[in-house]
């Protein structure tokens, strides 16, 4: 690895997440402060292969900290996971003299960075940008807090309609492999049940609970389902209609609304802190790690340890859900 890095690149890869712009801003301005040249790579690894790379100045990141999405755009790039693709990406970086690369994305993006850095003399640093909070080794990921707050706001509005019509609403939130958005938003909105991939769904118990609430004339109910749960929102609604014919059931799938919007204060803060720390890593000669936060302290985890982790959810959380929804 190079002893002293003077030129760095930054890209965003995979799914977009609110706060990515704050992280880009922090990387650019921290790099410039320490005398580095900073280059933006458009559309993630796809732009790296195409050579869509441009020099950034402090003014390049003016007025973006409050914006959702990513100014550098993002894409998924299968070609980067081929030897030939990575060779092309390396050659494009060397044309600009870039020695370090900061990758903002999820575990797939980190895997690409780890392979890339092991083959070529490019120091890579990862920043966890994913709304799912499914990266092992960090208490926070960029975008999670905003996504949860977006879900909470939407569920609160749905409950107003549920209350007006005495309906059961099944609301599906994002989380293909992780139920944290469902868990946090469900508890915060008083959901009667929360279904997540980390816990096996006892659908008969869900129906029993709904029957009991129907018997007690508790007709306004909210069930929050993570998209990765074994029972999707539509399948669950069919089962409930079959077993409780008199219960009005509606399904609401929040979808990509959870990805967008202005990032919360927390997401802006952790993205800024992580972006600063990423540049600091390169200055200190700490390479091929991703930056995480544990117990409010910065942690640096090797990229080859950055795996998508289906973390265990405490039974206490599910007990809280059951007690508070009774």
Q: Which residues are catalytic?
A: 132
Token pair in block for residue 38: 């900073």
The closest alpha carbon to 316, from 305, 308, 304, 324, belongs to: 324
171 neighbors 227 (Cβ within 8 angstroms): no
Other residues' Cβ atoms within 10 Å of the Cβ of residue 323:
8
Q: How many CA atoms lie within 13 A of 176 on its CB side?
A: 6
Sheet holding 289-294, edge to edge: 53-56, 37-41, 7-12, 100-105, 123-128, 289-294, 297-302
With beta carbons less than 8 A apart as the criterion, state whether 318 and 201 touch. no
Chain-centre distance for alpha carbon 115: 22
Q: What are phi and psi of 97, to 5 degrees?
A: 75, 20
Cα–Cα dist 249/241, whole Å? 7
Q: Compute CA 91 distance to the chain's CA centroid, rounded to the nearest angstrom.
A: 30
Residues 304 and 190: their CA atoms lie apart, in Å, by 39
For 194, the 3-state DSSP assignment is strand
Distance of CA 278 to the CA centre of its chain: 18
Closest residue by Cα to residue 278 from 29, 16, 58? 29
* Token pair listed for 125: 């640093």
- What single DSSP character describes residue 115? H
Of 215, 251, 247, which is closest to residue 231 (Cα–Cα)?
Answer: 251
Pick the closest to residue 127 from 282, 261, 311, 256 (CA basis): 282
């Amino acid at each position: 690895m190079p002893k002293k890095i003077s030129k760095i690149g930054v890209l965003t890869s995979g799914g977009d997440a609110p706060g990515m712009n704050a992280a880009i801003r922090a990387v650019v301005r921290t790099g410039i402060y320490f005398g580095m040249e900073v280059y933006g790579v458009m559309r993630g690894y796809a732009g790296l292969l195409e050579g869509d790379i441009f020099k950034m100045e402090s003014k390049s990141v003016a007025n973006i900290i409050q914006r959702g999405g990513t100014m550098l755009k993002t894409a998924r790039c299968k070609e980067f996971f081929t030897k030939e693709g990575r060779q092309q990406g390396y050659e494009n970086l060397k044309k600009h003299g870039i020695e370090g690369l900061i990758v903002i994305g999820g575990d797939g993006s980190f895997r690409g960075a780890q392979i890339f850095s092991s083959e070529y003399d490019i120091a890579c640093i990862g920043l966890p940008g994913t709304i799912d909070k499914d990266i092992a080794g960090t208490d926070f990921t960029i975008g999670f807090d905003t996504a949860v707050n977006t879900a909470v706001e939407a569920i609160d509005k749905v409950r107003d309609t549920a209350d007006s019509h005495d309906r059961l609403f099944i609301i599906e939130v994002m989380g293909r492999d992780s139920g944290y958005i469902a868990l946090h938003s469900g508890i915060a909105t008083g959901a009667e049940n929360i279904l997540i991939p980390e816990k096996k769904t006892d659908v008969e118990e869900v129906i029993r609970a709904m029957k009991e609430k129907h018997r007690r004339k508790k007709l306004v109910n909210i069930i929050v389902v993570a998209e990765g749960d074994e029972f999707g929102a539509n399948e669950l609604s069919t089962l409930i209609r079959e077993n409780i014919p008199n219960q009005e059931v509606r399904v609401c799938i929040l979808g990509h609304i959870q990805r967008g919007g202005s990032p919360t204060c927390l997401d802006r803060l952790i993205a800024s802190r992580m972006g600063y720390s990423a540049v600091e890593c390169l200055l200190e000669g700490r390479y091929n790690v991703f930056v995480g936060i544990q117990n409010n302290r910065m942690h640096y985890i090797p990229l080859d340890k950055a795996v998508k982790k289906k973390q265990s959810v405490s039974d206490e959380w599910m007990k809280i859900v059951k007690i508070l929804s009774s």
